Structure 1
Amino acid sequence: MKLPMKPAWKPASKSATVRPYLTALATAAALAVVPAGNAAASSPPVRDVCGTPKPGFARCLAQVRTDLHAGEGVRGPHAATASRAALPPGYGPAELRAAYGLPATGGSGQTVAVVEAGDAARAEADLAVYRTTFGLSACTTANGCFRKVNQRGDSAPLPPDQGWATETALDLDAVSALCPSCHLLLVEADQAAGDTLAASVDTAAAFGATEISNSYTAAESGPNASYADHYTHPGVAVVASSGDAGYGIPGVPAAYSSVIAVGGTTLARDPGTARGWSESAWQGAGSGCSAWVGKPAWQHDPNCPGRTVADVSMVADPDTGLAVYTTDGTGGTDAGWAVVGGTSASAPLVAAVVALAGHPARFPDASALYAAASGLTDVTTGSNVQGMDCGGDYQCTAGPGYDSPTGNGTPDGLGAF
């Protein structure tokens, strides 16, 4: 099914501009969108950690590979080298730093918060295993590096488990991989509802977070649009995953104009290039044209009358996913090491890059990444079509310059940040 790339009408107001677009997009989505990870027969089997949420609730976006276990390596062009054979499968700190040209130090004085639903009871202990395995310094409650609170900012009582513990492990491990000197703040919402997650973002900012990562999405709607102000905090960079269902209706919080919306790529070793790595748009990377949020002044793509998702990207494909340690076992993971992807991986990675650069106040929104696009690696291949077809338009197809699946590109060092 192909959608028109430009509206054929001239509306009288911004809301009139974007909301008819939602009707056409929603109809196509209901008919055409298929779950991420099912479209390509050659892709490894994956399982969504959080499954289908209750109506009106958000879902986390972590996807776990089910074909790998501790001791096995990632297959194909991104396979581990012999020197890495003793480490868990999936990309770790060294590979991620090499792929994106990032320093091994930085982030002192930065606090990256990750917002989750429900309590991950063993989050700190699991984080310790990850950091010890990869030779990172300890980050604990005792040394002041790690803190866990509920959505009201209290250390107790913590909310009941909502099945997000593997998501929580991914977020903490991803930030640790790129910014081991950063402090970590885990804020646990009572449940995966719009108001509780929004309250948790406010708590993260109140507790001194300089970057706040949100690896979840909910459908755009009037009620969800009302939470946008909770994702706006002066001096704090707020980051959100673009989603894992490919091209279609974008979700929130990624569509809020104050948020850095993070898409996803497939990251592979490519020894024949100067970089040594190559990237293409991941088929699951969420992208789309908002029907509720107006076009920001700093966004100039031609075929979307509202806010376009995404702004920037990093690795998200579970086939080239991150090494994550969790003893939770929910979401289809075996307790222990797993390879995890989804834009749940790319969002905390971008938050960590912002923290490494140390200038979160530059990001009251994503505008700086448009002004500094030349400092990013442009991703020019790949598509996130999963049944809904945008006719080869930039909204679902990577190409030179800005495109929706990968935004302005991926980090090339810290220059753009």
Structure 2
Amino acid sequence: MRTTTPDSPTARGRWRRLTSAAATAAATAAALVLTGLGTAPTASATPQTTTNPAAKVTWTTTPCATPTHKGDLTCDSLRVTGGVTAFERQRAARNGVTPKAGDTSAPSGYGPSDLQAAYGLTSAAASNGSGETIAIIDAYDDPNAEADLATYRAHYGLPACTSADGCFKKVSQTGSTTSLPSADSGWSQEISLDLDMASATCPNCNILLVEAKSASMANLGTAVNEAVKLGAKFVSNSYGGSESSSDTSYDSAYFNHPGVAITVSAGDSAYGTEYPAASRYVTAVGGTRLSSSSTGRGWTESVWQTSSTEGTGSGCSSYDAKPSWQTDSGCGKRMIADVSAVADPATGVSVYDSYGVTAGWYTFGGTSASAPIIAGVYALAGTPGSTDYPARYPYNAAGTSALNDVTSGANGTCATSYFCTAGTGYDGPTGWGTPQGVAAFTG
């Protein structure tokens, strides 16, 4: 079981989430009062609500971002609760219809065509991915997962993906299709986000949802192993926790799978590291703010950061060895992240969800969105080499037009600038950048 003691200063963001609910609420209250971002919650209030003053968009951490038991890992997702998102502003500019705050009857975030256009995937998404399987790893059961996925895909004109046609399959961490974990409304929101983002980037891919019986590293790791056992070559993980001295053993037990592209969220607590993003065997995925622009690309990105405690994770691992393909000189161990994709809730993605909430369309952010997006890009690029660690693929393409170099923004303050500040070439918050097609994600 993972220790919940912060092992290094870089673990501070995640450690805040693993303290008691009362302490978390108290810290949140103080922060909100000092910054003027909202009304301070009561001592028992969770989750935390955040306001982006510039965009007047509000969002909240999803319930799975708060651990249920000591030692649990947490999801990296945030759900928009009010205001007008970037997508809605763009739509209003086109059709003159003023968005209604809180309306769940229609999508209010980026959809598949937006993400495919932003990341140069339109042609690949139309023709690639057939026969490939993306595994989504989450804790607990979402009873409505297949039905909600069907609603999302039908709305956007994506091909059906059901258990009846063999495209979709849901199993427990032991591979059972009937003995599933207990249901959880918080993790169900995470599951909907993950399934929809994998669909958005790779509409022709099969999807395998593997549900762990709890959010412990042991159970989530067992689910990763089960996904690989069942044949998935692309495995998305949108969760994390503070680093610990046990991480190297978790590496060998759960994440050392040559020939499999394993993506992991870099975290939502701003500058600081978390595991399993720190594993040397995975692709750590940071988060950006994605907006349309008049540039030739038509989009622009910067590092996602909302506050000193909210934004994409990054930094130098305290325990994991540096993989051979990382050559940055400031960090002697594993550096996070490798690549990135959209994660800012104010420029968030549309998700359909119905379990534990009013059935409808929601906008989500967090690096829980970016990890399955990148898993989908890997799947579009084709099956990895059987002895390859696909985390190295973007390094082979570093500095080329196959990646959008994100050069502005920061996720905190740090002694070594590139650990927390974007710049030309490699940096911690965004890695080598975001996809521009699939060339950077193939061997």
Instruction: Report the TM-score when normalising by structure 2.
Output: 0.82
With over 3 angstroms needed to count, the CA separation of the structure-2 counterparts of 1:114 and 1:394, relative to structure 1, is same
The structural deviation recorded for 1:361 is 2.9
Q: Distance in 2 between matches of 1:415 and 1:80?
A: 34
- 1:47 counterpart (60, 74, 81): 60
1:97 paired residue number: 116
* Secondary structure of the structure 2 residue equivalent to 1:115: strand
With over 3 angstroms needed to count, the CA separation of the structure-2 counterparts of 1:289 and 1:79, relative to structure 1, is farther
> Contact 2:323–2:334 (CA<8 Å) still a contact in 1?
yes
The range that moved more, 114-123 or 104-113, is: 104-113
With over 3 angstroms needed to count, the CA separation of the structure-2 counterparts of 1:378 and 1:57, relative to structure 1, is same
The structural deviation recorded for 1:415 is 1.6
1:384 paired residue number: 411
> Contact 1:281–1:379 (CA<8 Å) still a contact in 2?
yes
Q: Does 1:172 align with 2:195?
A: yes
> Contact 1:257–1:365 (CA<8 Å) still a contact in 2?
no
> Contact 1:73–1:79 (CA<8 Å) still a contact in 2?
no
1:157 paired residue number: 179
* Secondary structure of the structure 2 residue equivalent to 1:124: helix
With over 3 angstroms needed to count, the CA separation of the structure-2 counterparts of 1:403 and 1:77, relative to structure 1, is farther
The structural deviation recorded for 1:75 is 4.3
The range that moved more, 357-366 or 120-129, is: 357-366
Aligned-pair identity in percent equals 47
The structural deviation recorded for 1:352 is 0.2
> Contact 1:262–1:346 (CA<8 Å) still a contact in 2?
yes
Unaligned 5+ segments in structure 1 are: 1-20
The structural deviation recorded for 1:79 is 6.2
> Contact 2:149–2:195 (CA<8 Å) still a contact in 1?
yes
Q: How does 1:225-374 map to 2 (within 5 A)?
A: 225-229=248-252, 230-248=254-272, 250-270=273-293, 272-283=294-305, 284-329=311-356, 334-361=358-385, 364-373=389-398, 374=400
Q: Distance in 1 between matches of 2:209 and 2:266?
A: 21
Q: Which has the higher contact order (CA 8 A, sep 6+)?
A: 1
Q: Distance in 1 between matches of 2:12 and 2:192?
A: 36
The structural deviation recorded for 1:278 is 0.4
The structural deviation recorded for 1:68 is 5.6
With over 3 angstroms needed to count, the CA separation of the structure-2 counterparts of 1:277 and 1:25, relative to structure 1, is closer
Q: AA paired with 1:64?
A: R
Q: AA paired with 1:190?
A: K
Q: Distance in 2 between matches of 1:312 and 1:321?
A: 18
With over 3 angstroms needed to count, the CA separation of the structure-2 counterparts of 1:392 and 1:220, relative to structure 1, is closer
1:208 paired residue number: 231
Unaligned 5+ segments in structure 2 are: 1-5, 17-26, 33-47, 100-104, 306-310
With over 3 angstroms needed to count, the CA separation of the structure-2 counterparts of 1:365 and 1:413, relative to structure 1, is closer
| Count of matched residue pairs | 387
Deviations 1:306-340 (A, max 9, x none): 1010000011111111110000135xxx4310001
* Secondary structure of the structure 1 residue equivalent to 2:171: strand
Deviations 1:2-44 (A, max 9, x none): xxxxxxxxxxxxxxxxxxx954545798799979984854352
With over 3 angstroms needed to count, the CA separation of the structure-2 counterparts of 1:73 and 1:240, relative to structure 1, is closer
The structural deviation recorded for 1:360 is 2.6
Q: Does 1:396 align with 2:420?
A: yes
Q: Distance in 2 between matches of 1:316 and 1:353?
A: 16
Deviations 1:214-252 (A, max 9, x none): 00001111234421121121221111000001112x111
Name the structure with the higher helix share. Answer: 2
> Contact 2:152–2:352 (CA<8 Å) still a contact in 1?
yes
* Secondary structure of the structure 2 residue equivalent to 1:275: coil
The range that moved more, 77-86 or 285-294, is: 77-86
2:240 paired residue number: 217
- 1:88 counterpart (107, 130, 135): 107
Q: AA paired with 2:422?
A: A
Deviations 1:151-201 (A, max 9, x none): 000112110023300100000000111111100000000000010000000
Q: AA paired with 1:404?
A: G
Q: Distance in 1 between matches of 2:12 and 2:155?
A: 48
The structural deviation recorded for 1:105 is 2.4
With over 3 angstroms needed to count, the CA separation of the structure-2 counterparts of 1:209 and 1:399, relative to structure 1, is same
Q: Does 1:67 align with 2:82?
A: yes
* Secondary structure of the structure 2 residue equivalent to 1:45: strand
Q: Distance in 1 between matches of 2:173 and 2:14?
A: 33
* Secondary structure of the structure 2 residue equivalent to 1:252: coil
Q: AA paired with 2:169?
A: R
- 2:149 counterpart (127, 132, 136): 127
- Computed over aligned residues only, the root mean square deviation of the Cα atoms, in angstroms, reads 2.7
